[in-house]
Structure 1
Amino acid sequence: MGTYCFGIDVGGTTVKCGLFRTDGTLVEKWEIPTRKENNGDQILPDVAAAVNAKMEEKGISKEEVEGVGIGVPGPVNSKGEVSRAVNLFWGYKNVVGEMEELTGLHAEAGNDANVAALGEAWKGAAAGSSDVIMVTLGTGVGGGIIVDGKIVTGHHGAGGEIGHANVDHHETESCNCGNRGCLEQYASATGIVRMAKKELAASGENSVLRDAGEISAKAVLDAFKENDPVAAATMEKVGEQLGGALAIICCVTDPETIVIGGGVSKAGQPLIDCIRKYYREYAFESCKDTPIVIATLGNDAGIYGAARMVL
């Protein structure tokens, strides 16, 4: 087995790169810009160039490298192919095939949220757990499901798309995916703002959010921590939708640990309490006490999980 491996996390603006030892020690991390022009045809060559340059700089030979793992924003099938990654302007792309050709190293590819979940299960908040559900609450809601130490990819690469679980059959507004009533419409940063605006319109309560001008998710979460009534009512609804969705998913995979990550998770324990209250109410008896924890690897979860994929 090689001594080193690379973990790559391709984002919409930057590509995060990590050089790891195979025991999971992060040797060095750095970023390169994501070049999206010409349908993102430079992204993988740029990644390969960065990997090759780092090996040269450190005097590492190909024989010493176990492989390159790469996480991308979009569904990735079990062969490492992407049918479409809208944020990178990619159509069909054989990510694994191209990376292997460009670097001469073994490669693995996965969806970024799934890969982040693998990272948290390996070296983060769920370290030591082989069964994990992770929900990433950012601009959207991403998810990753780990069963027996492996990512659940599914037939279309859409395994773990928790954000598009339908949690409200009566919703009239559309989600970005085209459906209505997706978890993402309530529990993402954008969803929290949408819910807070509805709550403000319907409620006569005094609230710091009334005079806030442009409301942000951070403003709602800060007000929630200060027991602002409108923010509290908003987060109760978010907690109910997310807690309820997690209760359903836990009936399918029965995880050892549930991890909450993404920008919204910075709200910390008050957010966890809100989710746990409803999760416990709706979960199957055997699963009621499953711990719900905040992710600990932050923006590094993706590079850790990507490295883990090749091991």
Structure 2
Amino acid sequence: MKHIIGIDLGGTTIKGGLIEGQNIINEEVADTRASEGGEVTLNALKEVIRKLKTDETRAIGIGVPSVVDRAKGIVYHVQNIKDWDEVHLKWLLEEEFNLPVHIDNDANCFAMGERIYGAGQQFDNFVGITLGTGVGGGIIQQGKLLHDANTGSGEFGEMPYLNGILEQYCGSFYFQNHHNTTGYEVAQKAGQGDKKALEVMHEYGKHIAVLIKMIVLTVDPQAIIFGGAIANSLPLFEESMYEHLIDFPYPNSIKNLKILKSELNNPGILGAAALCY
């Protein structure tokens, strides 16, 4: 049976899967080595693909944390990987592996994965948001991924907010820069009832509410589906999030909005593979 390789290239980790039908039959994970960037990250990506590739592999789909020229497969200005300002990724990988390569923004791939395999199956219009090293979004309208000019629609994390951008308050940098810890450590302590950790999660929920307001005012979707490592902590900041949505000028938009956590394992991998179809 034919195989497809799906790659979720994040700012911290490269996750790859070998897809047969609708199932991931083999997985590989590697450090992105983002601080070294350039050829180092490219070689780490190639090694993941090399380990996954079989004689039955027919194509490679890759989600990257940046804007992409879909037709040419050129990746531009990756925010969290050093020296990835213009990478002709499609050409480089097709030369290396002699297989067709399809590339899109990683958050778009996450949204595609949810649409095909996950909670997004029940919605024609929704936004998939990844909460990890960065904060990215993919927009599904009328059941299809929004095909914009540069794959940049839905990058809500880049919007100006307070003394920086939303990503600095809704991604993992928030816990590092403002509380000198990690989201995982805060979630663990909050789950055990630690007062300080619960306060941090309460504050985090306030920032997520701002993110939701921007999404609703821009796209007005039926649902927002959160994915990424931080999304697993949704029960810890959900109450605060809704608390800070009470003042939204169009209350029915919030009342009708479904806010969900992804239940899929590796939707980014599945969504990247879906690019090949």
Residue in 1 that maps onto 2:90: 96
Question: In structure 1, what is the equivalent of residue 274 of structure 2?
Answer: 308
Question: Is 1:255 matched up with 2:221?
Answer: yes
SS in 1 for 2:121: coil
Please tell me whether the aligned partners of residues 90 and 102 of structure 2 are also in contact (alpha carbons under 8 angstroms).
yes
Structure 1 counterpart of 2:18: 19
CA shift, 1:159, in A, is 2.0
1:1-311 equivalences under 5 Å are 3-11=2-10, 14-22=13-21, 24-31=22-29, 36=37, 38=39, 40-42=41-43, 45-46=46-47, 49-50=50-51, 54-56=53-55, 60=56, 65=58, 67-79=59-71, 80-85=73-78, 87=81, 89-152=83-146, 154-168=148-162, 171=163, 180=164, 182-192=165-175, 194-195=177-178, 197=179, 215-225=181-191, 229-279=195-245, 281-282=247-248, 284=250, 285-298=252-265, 300-311=266-277
The TM-score, its normalising length taken from structure 1, stands at: 0.72
Distance 1:150 1:297 in 2: 19
Q: Are residues 118 and 226 of structure 1, via their aligned partners in 2, closer, same or farther at CA, if it must alter by over 3 Å?
A: same
How many residues are treated as equivalent by the alignment?
A: 271
Please give the secondary structure, in 1, of the residue aligned with 2:130: strand
SS at match of 1:279: coil
- Spell out, residue by residue over 1:21-58, the C-alpha distance to the aligned partner (whole angstroms, 9 max, x if none): 34x2223223456575646453565455445xx322xx
Residues 187, 17 of structure 1: alpha-carbon distance in 2 compared, 3 angstrom cutoff = closer
The residue type equivalent to 2:54 in the other structure is M
The alpha-carbon deviation at position 189 of structure 1 amounts to: 2.8
Structure 1 residue 187 displacement after superposition: 2.2
* Aligned-partner residue type, residue 205 of structure 2: G
In the other structure, the counterpart of 1:204 is: none
Q: Which whole-Å deviations, capped at 9, do the CAs of 1:45-95 have from their partners, x for residues lacking one?
A: 5455445xx322xxx2x6xx3x32111232223322112335163342222
RMSD of aligned C-alpha atoms?
3.2
| Letter paired with 1:72 | V
Q: What amino acid maps onto 2:15 in structure 1?
A: K
| Amino acid across the alignment from 1:123 | Y
CA distance in 1, matches of 2:211, 2:249: 9
Structure-2 residue corresponding to 1:203: none
Q: Distance in 2 between matches of 1:154 and 1:116?
A: 16
Q: 1:264 to 1:167 in 2, by over 3 A?
A: same
SS in 2 for 1:127: helix
Q: Mark the runs of 5 or more structure 1 residues left unpaired by the alignment.
A: 172-179, 198-213
Q: 1:304: Cα distance to partner?
A: 0.8
1-structure distance, mates of 2:235, 2:241: 10
**More strand per residue:** 2
1:280 and 1:288 mapped to 2: Cα distance? 10
**How far does the alpha carbon of each residue in 1:83-134 deviate from its partner, in whole angstroms, 9 at most, with x for none?**
2335163342222333344444332101223222322232234334332222
CA pair 8-107 structure 1, distance change in 2 beyond 3 A: same
In terms of Rg, which structure is larger?
1
What is the CA deviation profile of residues 227-253 of structure 1, one whole-angstrom value per residue up to 9, with x for unaligned ones? Answer: 555444443332222213212312332
- The answer for the alignment partner of 1:206 in structure 2 is none
Q: Output the CA distance in 1 between the equivalents of 2:271 and 2:263.
A: 13
TM-score, normalization: structure 2?
0.80
**Structure 2: gaps (5+ residues):** none
- Aligned CA distance change for structure 1 residues 283 and 189 (closer, same or farther; 3 Å): farther
**Letter matched to residue 297 of structure 1:** L
